[in-house]
Amino acid sequence: MSQSRQRSPGTFPRDLPAFAALAEHAYGAIATAHMKTLFARDKKRVTRFTLDAADVHLDYSRNRINATTWRLLVALAREAGVERARDAMFAGEHINATEDRAVLHVALRAAPRDRFRIGKQNCTADVHRVLDAMEQFVRAVHAGRIQGHTGHRFTDVVNIGIGGSDLGVVTALRALEHYRGKRPRVHCVSNVDGTQLADLKKILNPATTLFVVCSKTFTTQETMANAHVARRWIQRTLGPGAIADHFAAASTNHEAMDAFGVHRQYRFGFWDWVGGRFSIWSAVGLSVALAIGMPAFRDFLAGARKIDRHFRVAPLERNMPVALALLAFWYNQFFGADSQAILPYDNRLERFPAFLQQMHMESNGKSVRADGASVSIDTGMVIWGEAGNNAQHSFYQLLHQGTRFVPVDFILSARSSGAGMAEHRLAIANCLAQASALMAGQSARDLRAAGIVDASSVAHRVHPGNRPSNTLLLPELSPATLGQLIAIYEHKVFVEGVLFGVNSFDQWGVQLGKVLANSVVQRLKKPTQSNQLDATAEHLLARLRRLGS
């Protein structure tokens, strides 16, 4: 594809030739074709629609596509300039234009020989300097050379952060619990209401607890409120001199870490070219490294690095993040899908859907394009999900027989991540069975053949099928494969953003609520203050005060 046939700035996705061709195709035979028929017609379908990236195998044959759909979708990716945008990201261009920043989370997992520069900054060298400092700190904590104020080893770590400074950490900690061994337990505190920390204070010993305050800005209301509660607890129980021994931090804001009293050796920096929701690879991962050890944390980074390479070099036709983005776009634009479910069949991945929720929705939940014009198509879908069988007993009814059209991603590993294989085989069986049921369904004819003849009974039991799913298959859940999985979705989100024409790396939509929350806080403190909120807020505040707020 020549440069001239790629999207020029200002071109709307709808104006791309491939979009028009896709629209025509979507409303043709493929709209009504049942996947059972597509499988019957194309014996090579599974080979055609499966691909590998590092250790991850993607089966996307259970989608409402055929070879023509795929050709047109890939053409759309080319015309939208996915390759050019990808190369610009890896080159450190300021693709986050509204914040005038580069987007280089890929540099956080670079090998020492990889070259990532922004102007005069050698990003690779800076990244490895911080990783080495983290390694020294983590080893010293594990060996007991860094200990609490009263000379006790740390048995517990509390990560304080929210959003991108929490969700990746929580996800990785839960996913990799089987790698923790005898290292400290790590707990996470994020919400502002104080209950998480209040509960932890009941079971933790301050003398053996290390807090890690994670905040890119070190100003986030929730994080700072929790960090100050923790600080007061340490001060009250161990004395004011204990603060420096019990707090580590990951942030870009060195002045604020100074003001808080974070020891110079216990602080780990990162840079404005790391977006919060893409920061788990940076010093934000410190708590994860404390839980699984630095060699395993480096494996996690190396896993992501393999996917970066795949994303960079694999042709669009065989590129896993591109494939996932194109399929999501296909259903979003042409099938009216407004949500996508993420369904991991390993309980250790139970927080993965929440992590992906921020990654997708904060990135692509936009109505304005990167060039400032309003979008002309629907953008990011609602992302939701839950771990395997729990989800089956909760919302699969809607997936199978509801009126909503919800494409799903199943995530499955071949080997158990810590339980017996007998139990794990049950999880595998359920995952494969659900994907088959969504695809094939159960017709009235099938039911009658099985002896169910009463018309009403048949009607209630029919499963229409033809409901699409991807299956992402891992050999096992390990630091390396978790790194791969997260990186696949990061790049998928990026490609979707390019297709929509939005800037996936800012998040202006979360600012207004933050500002308003601050004025409500003032209003709660001083009831007579004149700043009037909207009528409903004033009514609720009055009611809350009467109830004791």
Nearer to ligand F6P, 53 or 186 (CB): 186
Report the site for ligand F6P in 484-523 (rule: CB under 6 A): 507, 510
256-273 burial, b if ≥16 CB within 10 A, otherwise e?
bbeebebeeebbbbbbeb
Structure tokens at 504: 């996936």
Whether residue 514 lies in the annotated active site: yes
Question: Rounded CA gap, 417 and 210, in Å?
Answer: 28
How near is the Cβ of 215 to ligand F6P at its closest, in Å?
3
| Span from 215-223, 232-240, 440-448, 535-543 in contact with ligand F6P (CB under 6 A) | 215-223
Given 94, 228, 317, 393, which residue is catalytic?
393
Question: Rounded CA gap, 409 and 340, in Å?
Answer: 8
Give 374's DSSP letter: B
Report the site for ligand F6P in 332-351 (rule: CB under 6 A): none
Question: Rounded CA gap, 501 and 10, in Å?
Answer: 9
How near is the Cβ of 116 to ligand F6P at its closest, in Å?
22
Report the site for ligand F6P in 412-451 (rule: CB under 6 A): none
From residue 347 to residue 386, the character string flagging contacts with ligand F6P as x (rule: CB under 6 A) and all else as - is: ---------------x------------------------
Single residue of 148, 163, 321, 353 touching ligand F6P by CB under 6 A: 163
The DSSP H or E segment spanning 416 is none
Nearer to ligand F6P, 252 or 319 (CB): 252
Nearer to ligand F6P, 210 or 361 (CB): 361
Question: Rounded CA gap, 469 and 22, in Å?
Answer: 20
Question: Rounded CA gap, 378 and 501, in Å?
Answer: 11
Given 362, 386, 490, 496, which residue is catalytic?
362
Nearer to ligand F6P, 119 or 513 (CB): 513
| Span from 88-96, 214-222, 255-263, 535-543 in contact with ligand F6P (CB under 6 A) | 214-222
From residue 222 to residue 251, the character string flagging contacts with ligand F6P as x (rule: CB under 6 A) and all else as - is: -x----------------------------
| Span from 83-91, 157-165, 371-379, 490-498 in contact with ligand F6P (CB under 6 A) | 157-165
Nearer to ligand F6P, 337 or 502 (CB): 502
Whether residue 362 lies in the annotated active site: yes
Nearer to ligand F6P, 205 or 217 (CB): 217
Helix axes 17-26, 320-334, angle to 10 degrees: 60
How near is the Cβ of 229 to ligand F6P at its closest, in Å?
16
Give the CA diameter of the chain.
79
Single residue of 32, 195, 205, 217 touching ligand F6P by CB under 6 A: 217
How near is the Cβ of 271 to ligand F6P at its closest, in Å?
13
Residue 156 contacts residue 209 (beta carbons within 8 Å): yes
Structure tokens at 39: 């499988």
Nearest to 6 by CA among 69, 84, 74: 84
Nearer to ligand F6P, 69 or 220 (CB): 220
Question: Rounded CA gap, 389 and 517, in Å?
Answer: 38
Residues 6+ apart with CB under 8 A from 160: 188, 189, 190, 211, 212, 213, 214, 223, 226, 227, 230
Report the site for ligand F6P in 260-279 (rule: CB under 6 A): 276-277
How near is the Cβ of 179 to ligand F6P at its closest, in Å?
25
CB-based contacts of 57-60 (< 8 A; 24+ apart in sequence): 57/472, 57/473, 57/474, 58/320, 58/323, 58/324, 58/470, 58/471, 58/472, 58/473, 59/470, 59/471, 59/473, 60/323, 60/324, 60/327, 60/470
- How many residues lie near ligand F6P (CB under 6 A)? 14
Nearer to ligand F6P, 32 or 511 (CB): 511
Residue 396 contacts residue 345 (beta carbons within 8 Å): no
Nearer to ligand F6P, 165 or 484 (CB): 165
| Span from 156-164, 189-197, 473-481, 530-538 in contact with ligand F6P (CB under 6 A) | 156-164
From residue 272 to residue 311, the character string flagging contacts with ligand F6P as x (rule: CB under 6 A) and all else as - is: ----xx----------------------------------
Single residue of 162, 230, 349, 408 touching ligand F6P by CB under 6 A: 162
Nearer to ligand F6P, 117 or 254 (CB): 254
Give 502's DSSP letter: -
Question: Rounded CA gap, 336 and 338, in Å?
Answer: 6
Rg of the chain over Cα atoms, rounded to whole angstroms, equals 25
Residues in the chain: 549
Q: Does 171 bind ligand F6P (CB under 6 A)?
A: no
Which residue in this structure is represented by tokens 């094939």?
Answer: 440
Given 94, 228, 460, 514, which residue is catalytic?
514
Which residue in this structure is represented by tokens 């169910």?
Answer: 452
How near is the Cβ of 355 to ligand F6P at its closest, in Å?
11
Residues engaged in binding ligand F6P (CB under 6 A):
162-165, 215-217, 220, 223, 276-277, 362, 507, 510
Which residues are annotated as catalytic?
362, 393, 514
